[in-house]
Structure 1
Amino acid sequence: MTATIASLGLIGYLSFSTSLVLATPLSIPRSEQATFLLPLSHEPSISPFIAEHNGTIIELLNRYAPIVKLSVEEEYYPSSVEYMLPHYSFLENFHGEKHPANHTLLTPSSLDQLPLFGSGQFLSISEPHNPQPFLLSDESNYLYGPAGQKGGMKKDEKGRGKVEEPIYGFGVDMGRGIVDLWYWTFYPFNLGKSIGPFGILGNHVADWEHLRMRTVNGTPVSADFTTHNGGRFSAGTIRWEDVIKHDGRPVAYSAAGSHGIWNEPGDHIYADLAKVFRLVDVTDDDGALWDTKDLVVPVRYWDDSEHRRRLWHDGENSWLNFRGRYGNRGENDCWWHKLVGICQLVDAPPGPNRFFGITPDCIIAPLAPIYSTYNFYLSSPAIKYAEANEIGIVQVEQTCTRPKRNPDDDDDDDNSNEIDDYDEETMYDEDRLEIWTIKGLTDYKGPNKHTVTMDSCKGVQSAVRAYKISLCTIDGRCLTTSNDRKVCSYEKGKKGYKFGSAVNLEDIDDWRWTY
């Protein structure tokens, strides 16, 4: 009871200010980041500089509002968060303890007033929600979304279905002119995938999916199309030249039922279960259109690129402070869980206000003819570490890879970047690859740009896959090393990506990691 009172008192203090920040440690790798962190400090965040630039970020979010093309097979349509909140009837924690919902708090302006901002809690519904293959109760029909109700689908002038629901946009100032635009879609329900004798697996109440755009000085340079948990089965980072666009805005394709975001229509493999069952997202250009122009709910993510303190939201955006899950707990006691790692019902996802201070899925670089060149910057925390530890050298490791070869295969290197039979699936299948690194050095230059030139990846079918850096002392002791940054190479003047043995990389994302 004391903890609850204290947390509510804290919330009262926070909601008194119109703009506050949550300090978030950003030296933690993405894989180790909690989805949400409790506030470590509270201080005003809107300085005159921030207020001046806030309008620019909001304008960018509205300017590049995406067009989402839903599948003709879609049954579970998007909605607003406000649409879903009244349907939650109880809260459940990870231990299975349940409490009736206080509906006076289940509103956009009050959701964060739950104890500890809802951390560790699942907003839960009472109605049946395990379609095998259909929802069997009329009481569950709201899970189809507003457009999925009888007479709920609007039509455009050509008779095509039209969805008009909000999309939630976060603008993230990354420094050096970079503003990342994260667009999040919400659906009341996620339909899983049919897996043979196990039925439809992976169903869950509520679904959050996202598209991320990168702009530099207001100009788009790339978009990351992400499915579910991301990873190598997602479309990943696509050059802006290769993004399908309408009216200068990105077009995204939403997978039927599971709503993963893809850059083009078709069937897309996004996961392997037990290396036997491949999960496929189905997208097409025949379903309803969701043009989010004038439907973006835009917010700024943190105060600035230097301090990176997350903003506290108030008013009708207070729900963004909620740290719980937007649907029911799942199951893990099905008999096949040990075989495929998933049951028919899985945990609902957290909300969209996650950790956004990350680089794109890959760093885009043009191919180079002979040598690789890496240009990059260190973050202010890296610089402080370097100066405290007498760092004098920065080392770059270029990761090279190629398919494993037989001992009698010809390995003459003609310095060609022509790799015609080398697909991305091979590129990241460790069992089928030879992997090695090439190292290069440069003097430590503090906040200035660092440049390292090194040999290309030698050998037939060799390709650059990633790079990382280390901070080293003058005597050659490397005290700390970053994680890899994936490299996506391309040939100038041509569409798509192309693997090659050398790149000319301009990395404008500050390097930061756990030192």
Structure 2
Amino acid sequence: MVATPTVLENGPRPDEKTGLLSRVRNSGRGRISTRTSDGLARVTLREQSRKSYWRLYKYLILLVLIYLVCRRYVVYSPLWFFSIASKWLFPFSMNGGQPPWYDAPPGDNGTSRTSQEIPDYVFEYAPFVHLFSDEEYWPTDMSDHIPHTHPAIGYDPITNSNPILNISNLNLLNQYEHGRHVFLTSNDDVEDHPPWIKGEQNIPTKFTYPPKHSRNLKDYNKPKTNGSKPTHGGYSPAPAILITVPKGNNTLDAFWFFFYSFNRGNSVFNIRFGNHVGDWEHTLIRFQHGRPAAVFFSEHNFGSAYSYHAVEKIGKRPVLYSAVGTHAMYATSGLHPYILPLGLLHDETDRGPLWDPALNTKSYTFDHVACTVRPSMRNPDAETGWFYYNGHWGDKHYPLDDGRQYGFVGEYHYVNGPLGPRFKHLGRRKMCQGAFEDPCEIKEWLGGDLEVKMGKEVGVGEEWPEGETMPPGLIGDERSKP
């Protein structure tokens, strides 16, 4: 007898397609129920929803973490993409639509104003300077400049017995009217072009450029300092002056000053204006959180500021161009019109000898609140008296009865010698050297700038500033004679 398989009429059967127990006979009524299947489906959907929400939460947490980590980098980044993107991605991180480093108020923010240490990154991003190919007046050591001059109050020589003046005691001249009308007057007739005003011995050594697409830029990005001469060249015996100024918003300003014994002005219709004995030029590189943010180029009594990513570089070091004769600083080579329309008055720059100022530098730190300068630990014995000198570094503009002088509509062939770095608004909050209320555009690219710069008229030359741009404590204050 063959056994007949027993069929459980009321028992569940596995579904052949899904493997789920999906069909159940309900209480002998012969109806099929899907209650069990629906319950399992709801459980499955709830589990999937929880997993989806948890996955979404993880993504949100990850995005927040990425935001917090990258916010500082994006906002302060020197890269062009991030610099532009930060204005859109992090508008609340800006100061009126500007990056945080745009305004550097007084303060320490972790960097002591009295410190004598200069961070390594200041030298890693030190500028290179293209001097003009046919330049006649090269960089000068101010120690070599002073012995060729004598102090005068206006046109009257100071005959009182003083010790021999040098860069360590030059501030002794502040005893005469606080130095305001003191001029270091040339001992020679500058029309004779004495050798000391030309500085030909200070022409930089030949510079060797890195090969194209080379990644081995260690010697370029980390220059040897204190007079050592690396293989890439660009060394000049005339030292540059580096002054670092810690400020608020975790900002550090690095001012690079360059001194020349003579400034030859530009000409209009073969009439030359703006010659003067002594010449101070500078550039400013602003750092935030140790990263370069922007670069300022001084041009006569005005200048231009660019974001770091925009300027030309060798490795990661900005490249500057010094105009022939005037030594005004520019970001590109070519013609640079200013003051007069149609380019009648212009500076000219080219890719002449490349100077690496970081190879020979006297470095200082500056407390812009107390107006106190200190030699850095890199050269702790460096002289400071020259910095506190309040007078001019060249002759007073010659009177019209002097055969060397002529004038036209308030402009003169020879003008006053310049004031020193103390008067270059080291405590500035914006990149530009004017007052805080003055406009200061940070340019994001180099091309297409044919605008005629409209600075102040030169007149008789540089004189003591007024208001915000005047250094503190010049008159009746012991800080003028440290």
TM-score w.r.t. the length of structure 1 is: 0.53
The match for 1:483 among 433, 437, 458 is 437
The match for 1:337 among 404, 407, 413 is 407
Question: Who is 2:307 aligned against?
Answer: 239
The match for 2:355 among 278, 290, 295 is 290
Question: Who is 1:328 aligned against?
Answer: 395
1:350 aligns with 2:412: no
The match for 1:280 among 323, 343, 346 is 346
Q: Higher helix fraction: Structure 1 or Structure 2? A: 2
Q: Residues 360 and 297 of structure 1: is their aligned pair in 2 closer, same or farther, counting only changes over 3 Å?
A: same
Question: For residue 294 of structure 1, what is the amino acid of its counterpart?
Answer: L
Asked if the contact 2:174–2:391 (Cα under 8 Å) also holds between the matched residues in 1, the reply is no
In the alignment of these two chains, the number of paired residues is 309
The match for 2:250 among 165, 169, 177 is 177
Unaligned segments of structure 1, at least 5 residues: 1-45, 131-135, 364-467, 469-481, 499-511
Instruction: Give me the whole-angstrom Cα distance separating, in 1, the residues matched to 2:344 and 2:446.
Output: 28
Question: Who is 2:52 aligned against?
Answer: none
Instruction: Give me the whole-angstrom Cα distance separating, in 2, the residues matched to 1:310 and 1:326.
Output: 20
Partner-residue secondary structure (3-state), 2:243: strand
Q: Residues 100 and 252 of structure 1: is their aligned pair in 2 closer, same or farther, counting only changes over 3 Å?
A: farther
Question: For residue 93 of structure 1, what is the amino acid of its counterpart?
Answer: I
The match for 2:142 among 61, 76, 81 is 81
1:111 aligns with 2:174: no
Instruction: Give me the whole-angstrom Cα distance separating, in 1, the residues matched to 2:174 and 2:446.
Output: 51
CA RMSD of aligned residues (A): 3.6
Q: What are the equivalent positions in structure 2 for 1:213-228 lying under 5 Å apart?
A: 213-228=285-300
Question: For residue 296 of structure 2, what is the amino acid of its counterpart?
Answer: D
Q: Residues 65 and 495 of structure 1: is their aligned pair in 2 closer, same or farther, counting only changes over 3 Å?
A: closer
Q: What are the equivalent positions in structure 2 for 1:88-107 lying under 5 Å apart?
A: 88=149, 90-94=150-154, 96-100=155-159, 104-107=163-166
Q: Higher strand fraction: Structure 1 or Structure 2? A: 1
TM-score w.r.t. the length of structure 2 is: 0.57
Instruction: Give me the whole-angstrom Cα distance separating, in 2, the residues matched to 1:360 and 1:51.
Output: 18
Asked if the contact 2:204–2:355 (Cα under 8 Å) also holds between the matched residues in 1, the reply is no
Instruction: Give me the whole-angstrom Cα distance separating, in 2, the residues matched to 1:362 and 1:84.
Output: 29
Q: Residues 156 and 226 of structure 1: is their aligned pair in 2 closer, same or farther, counting only changes over 3 Å?
A: closer
Asked if the contact 1:162–1:288 (Cα under 8 Å) also holds between the matched residues in 2, the reply is no
Asked if the contact 2:174–2:390 (Cα under 8 Å) also holds between the matched residues in 1, the reply is no
Q: Residues 338 and 155 of structure 1: is their aligned pair in 2 closer, same or farther, counting only changes over 3 Å?
A: closer
Q: Kindly state the Cα deviation for residue 271 of structure 1 after the two structures are TM-superposed.
A: 2.5
**1:218-244 Cα distance to aligned partner (Å, 9 max, x none):** 1001101111101xxx3x111111111
Instruction: Give me the whole-angstrom Cα distance separating, in 2, the residues matched to 1:250 and 1:358.
Output: 21
Question: For residue 394 of structure 2, what is the amino acid of its counterpart?
Answer: G
Asked if the contact 1:266–1:282 (Cα under 8 Å) also holds between the matched residues in 2, the reply is yes
1:210 aligns with 2:282: yes
Question: Who is 1:376 aligned against?
Answer: none
Q: Residues 212 and 345 of structure 1: is their aligned pair in 2 closer, same or farther, counting only changes over 3 Å?
A: same
Question: For residue 114 of structure 1, what is the amino acid of its counterpart?
Answer: L
Asked if the contact 2:174–2:389 (Cα under 8 Å) also holds between the matched residues in 1, the reply is no
Question: Who is 1:310 aligned against?
Answer: 371
Q: Kindly state the Cα deviation for residue 212 of structure 1 after the two structures are TM-superposed.
A: 0.8
Instruction: Give me the whole-angstrom Cα distance separating, in 2, the residues matched to 1:157 and 1:81.
Output: 28
Partner-residue secondary structure (3-state), 1:82: helix
Instruction: Give me the whole-angstrom Cα distance separating, in 1, the residues matched to 2:133 and 2:195.
Output: 19
Partner-residue secondary structure (3-state), 1:210: strand
Give the fraction of aligned pairs with identical amino acids, expressed as a percent.
Answer: 26
Unaligned segments of structure 2, at least 5 residues: 1-107, 210-231, 376-381, 450-467, 470-482
Asked if the contact 1:168–1:185 (Cα under 8 Å) also holds between the matched residues in 2, the reply is yes
Question: For residue 483 of structure 1, what is the amino acid of its counterpart?
Answer: E
Q: Residues 58 and 85 of structure 1: is their aligned pair in 2 closer, same or farther, counting only changes over 3 Å?
A: farther
Instruction: Give me the whole-angstrom Cα distance separating, in 2, the residues matched to 1:157 and 1:312.
Output: 35
Question: Who is 2:429 aligned against?
Answer: 359
Asked if the contact 2:373–2:384 (Cα under 8 Å) also holds between the matched residues in 1, the reply is no
Asked if the contact 1:181–1:213 (Cα under 8 Å) also holds between the matched residues in 2, the reply is yes
1:262 aligns with 2:330: yes
Q: Kindly state the Cα deviation for residue 92 of structure 1 after the two structures are TM-superposed.
A: 1.9
Asked if the contact 2:240–2:361 (Cα under 8 Å) also holds between the matched residues in 1, the reply is yes
Asked if the contact 2:235–2:357 (Cα under 8 Å) also holds between the matched residues in 1, the reply is no
Partner-residue secondary structure (3-state), 2:429: coil
Q: What are the equivalent positions in structure 2 for 1:130-209 lying under 5 Å apart?
A: 130=191, 136=192, 140-147=194-201, 154-156=205-207, 163-196=236-269, 199-209=271-281
